[in-house]
């Protein structure tokens, strides 16, 4: 098979590394990729927003499957353009990608199908949103409706914070004219992520993970795209996974099919495990980053037949197998992230990958023969082991060997799981 992978982060490096091991693979291309991905794929300077160029490339190289990493090209309809050209694509259509592209759309779907989620209201005008503040208690959650690269959510502890968040949404920080917001109830509990492969009507569990969203140790500091993760998520027992499938994922797939937007690809449910059961915080229509890095370390099956089956709309008979190992990844980010940070600082040394430990490139580039930082999240130092503790000690040992002056990382990834293991 000839495969084109779209994206340039740590998630795509982990996918490229895994896909490159498939005996079915003939050629792997990545657009635009990064230096780590370049060890497994031929990098091509294609712009995912230029659908004609992507289709043209796929025809020229006889691509059998396109795997789309990030959400933006999906919300933008890249899968539709590829499907219309008869090219198999792992990733949902634009109408199905609204599950991530519009929080209001997803909340309304949940409400129609009794899917457990935070109580909410949608607003398209500042005055009405402000007036709503008088009726609710704190903390309260304010979300910009559209894609906001992880920055559109505010957990307001006071009326003043809520006002500021509403104003920033309507002032154009996340969309400008025609902006919409969702104001919702604050949910308490432990967070976990569930990944499902979907073929339009069926959903297949494809692993669980727990992300660490805050920038600093002990869950302090600003929200980020994720500073580390481990898999499987300790809190997601088999019973909880089954309940989530029944109460959240299956009704979602049914609801999407009913409105003519069947979901194909990977559906990532961000869950809050509350006292009354799992509730949906949000959907993403693609793999998590950095959760994919830990999933790929544990996946034993060849991913290509699995992704292709989802793309072709028939997952029957597909049963991915997983290592019993735990996996854990530590994100090394540029000082200042998720705020402003320097680019171009040199990564002087990376330890060699081995059977249990490997470094995925998240935001790197080449400057001559130097490897330099080129993003906020730069490296994903990832390891597996018989326990979360073992995976963590391997990952942190590798972190210690990285020579890069500008990086910072959390030193407590997986700490809650390790406490439970030790208890």
What is the binding site for ligand AMP (CB under 6 A)?
A: 118, 141, 150, 153, 155, 184, 186-187, 191, 213, 223, 270, 281-282
Q: Is 243 exposed, middle or buried (0-12, 13-18, 19+ CB in 10 A)?
A: middle
Give the one entry of ligand AMP, ligand GLY, none that residue 289 binds, where binding means its C-beta sits below a cut-off of 5 to 8 angstroms depending on kind: ligand GLY
Q: For the CB of residue 211, give the shortest distance to ligand GLY in the complex, in Å.
A: 5
Give the residue with the Cβ less far from ligand AMP, 226 or 375. Answer: 226
Q: Which residues of 71-101 are buried (b: 16+ CB within 10 A; e: fewer)?
A: bbbbbbbbbbbbbeeebbbbbbbbbbbbbbb
Measured from the CB atom, is 80 or 291 closer to ligand GLY? 291
Strand order of the β-sheet with 27-32 is 42-43, 27-32, 2-7, 65-68, 89-90
How many other CB atoms sit within 10 Å of the CB of residue 240? 18
Closer of 244 and 293 to ligand GLY (Cβ): 293
Instruction: Give the one entry of ligand GLY, ligand AMP, none that residue 407 binds, where binding means its C-beta sits below a cut-off of 5 to 8 angstroms depending on kind.
Output: none
CB of 194 to ligand GLY, least distance (A): 13
CB 92 within 8 A of CB 74: yes
**Least Å from the CB of residue 291 to ligand GLY:** 6
φ/ψ of residue 262, rounded to 5: -60, 140
Q: Residue 325 binds what, of ligand AMP, ligand GLY, none (CB under 5 to 8 Å, by partner type)?
A: none
Q: Compute the C-alpha angle 220/221/224, nearest 5°.
A: 110
Looking at 315-376, which runs of residues are DSSP E strands?
326-334, 346-347, 357-361, 364-367, 370-373
User: Residue 141 binds what, of ligand GLY, ligand AMP, none (CB under 5 to 8 Å, by partner type)?
Assistant: ligand AMP
> Of ligand GLY, ligand AMP, none, which one does residue 225 interact with (CB within 5 to 8 Å by kind)?
ligand GLY
Binding partner selected for residue 226 from ligand GLY, ligand AMP, none, CB under the kind-specific 5 to 8 Å limit? ligand GLY
CB under 5 to 8 A by kind: which of ligand AMP, ligand GLY, none does 375 bind? none
73: closest CA among 58, 51, 56, 42? 51
184 binds ligand GLY (CB under 6 A): no
- What minimum distance in Å lies between the beta carbon of 121 and ligand AMP? 13
Residue 235: which H helix or E strand, with range?
A: none
Q: Please choose which of ligand GLY, ligand AMP, none residue 186 contacts, taking the beta carbon within 5 to 8 angstroms, the exact cut-off set by kind.
A: ligand AMP
User: Cα-atom radius of gyration of the chain, to the nearest Å?
Assistant: 21
Is there a contact between 153 and 141 (Cβ–Cβ < 8 Å)? yes
Which residue number, 51 or 107, has a Cβ lying nearer to ligand GLY? 107
Least distance (Å) from ligand AMP to the CB of residue 210?
11
- Contact characters 281-320, ligand GLY, x per CB under 6 A: ---x---xx-x-----------------------------
Partner interacting with residue 219 (select from ligand AMP, ligand GLY, none; CB below 5-8 Å by kind): none
Which of 12, 64, 211, 325 forms a contact with ligand GLY (CB under 6 A)?
211
Are the C-beta atoms of 194 and 246 separated by less than 8 Å? no
291's contact among ligand GLY, ligand AMP, none, with CB below 5 to 8 A by partner kind, is ligand GLY
The gap between the terminal CA atoms of the chain, to the nearest Å, is 47
How many residues are present in the chain?
423
The DSSP symbol for 11 reads H
Minimum CB–partner distance for residue 281 and ligand AMP (Å): 5
Query: Which lies closer to ligand GLY via its Cβ, residue 199 or residue 289?
Result: 289
Residue count at the site for ligand GLY (CB under 6 A)? 7
Angle between helices 415-422 and 388-401 (to 10 degrees): 140
Contact 212, 288 (CB under 8 A): no
Q: Cβ of residue 192: shortest distance to ligand GLY, in angstroms?
A: 12
**Could you give the CA distance from residue 95 to residue 80 in angstroms, rounded to a whole number?**
9
Give which of 328, 320, 331 is closest to 234, Cα–Cα: 328
User: Helix or strand or coil: residue 6?
Assistant: strand
Judge contact between 347 and 364, C-beta under 8 A: yes
- Nearest distance from residue 275's CB to ligand AMP, in Å? 14
- In whole angstroms, how close is the CB of 153 to ligand GLY at the nearest point? 11
The CB-of-178 to ligand GLY minimum distance in angstroms stands at: 24
Residue ranges in 17-76 that form contacts with ligand GLY under rule CB under 6 A: none
The CA-based angle 166-172-176, given to 5 degrees, is 110
Query: Interface residues for ligand GLY in 214-273 (CB under 6 A)?
Result: 225-226
The rounded distance, in Å, linking the Cα atoms of 351 and 373 is 16
**Which residues contact ligand GLY (rule: CB under 6 A)?**
211, 225-226, 284, 288-289, 291
């Amino acid at each position: 098979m000839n495969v084109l992978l779209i994206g340039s982060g740590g998630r795509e490096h982990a996918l490229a590394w895994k896909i490159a091991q498939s005996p079915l693979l003939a050629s792997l291309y990545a657009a635009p990729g990064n230096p780590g991905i370049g060890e497994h794929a031929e990098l091509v300077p294609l712009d995912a927003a230029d659908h004609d160029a992507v289709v043209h490339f796929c025809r020229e190289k006889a691509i059998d499957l396109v795997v789309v990493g990030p959400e933006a090209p999906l919300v933008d309809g890249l899968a539709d353009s590829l499907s219309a050209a008869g090219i198999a694509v792992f990733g949902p259509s634009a109408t199905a990608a609204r599950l991530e592209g519009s929080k209001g759309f997803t909340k309304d779907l949940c409400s129609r199908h009794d899917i457990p989620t935070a109580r909410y209201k949608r607003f398209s005008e500042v005055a009405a949103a402000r007036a709503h503040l008088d009726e609710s208690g704190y903390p309260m959650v304010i979300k910009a409706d559209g894609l906001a690269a992880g920055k559109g959510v505010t957990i307001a502890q006071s009326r003043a914070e809520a006002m500021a968040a509403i104003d920033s949404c309507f002032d154009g920080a996340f969309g400008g004219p025609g902006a919409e917001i969702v104001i919702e109830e604050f949910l308490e509990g432990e967070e976990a992520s569930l990944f499902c492969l979907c073929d339009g009507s069926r959903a297949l569990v494809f692993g669980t993970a727990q992300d660490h969203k805050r920038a600093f140790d002990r869950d302090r500091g600003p929200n980020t795209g994720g500073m580390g993760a481990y898999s499987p998520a300790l809190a997601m027992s088999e019973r909880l996974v089954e309940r989530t499938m029944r109460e959240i994922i299956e009704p979602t797939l049914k609801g999407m099919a009913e409105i003519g937007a069947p979901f194909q690809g990977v559906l990532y449910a961000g869950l809050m495990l509350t006292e009354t059961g799992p509730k949906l915080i949000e959907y993403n229509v693609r793999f998590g980053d950095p959760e994919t890095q830990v999933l790929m370390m544990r996946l034993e099956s060849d991913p290509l037949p699995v992704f292709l089956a989802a793309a072709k709309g028939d997952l029957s008979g597909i049963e991915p197998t997983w290592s019993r190992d735990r996996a854990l990844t530590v994100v090394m980010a540029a000082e200042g992230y998720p705020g402003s940070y320097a680019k171009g600082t040199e990564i002087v040394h990376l330890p060699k990958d081995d059977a249990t430990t490997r470094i995925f490139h998240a935001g790197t580039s080449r400057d001559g023969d130097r490897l330099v930082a080129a993003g906020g999240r730069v490296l994903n130092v990832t390891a597996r082991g018989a326990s979360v503790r073992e995976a963590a000690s391997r990952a942190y040992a590798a972190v210690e060997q990285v020579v890069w002056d500008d990086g910072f990382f959390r030193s407590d990834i997986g700490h809650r799981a390790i406490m439970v293991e030790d208890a």
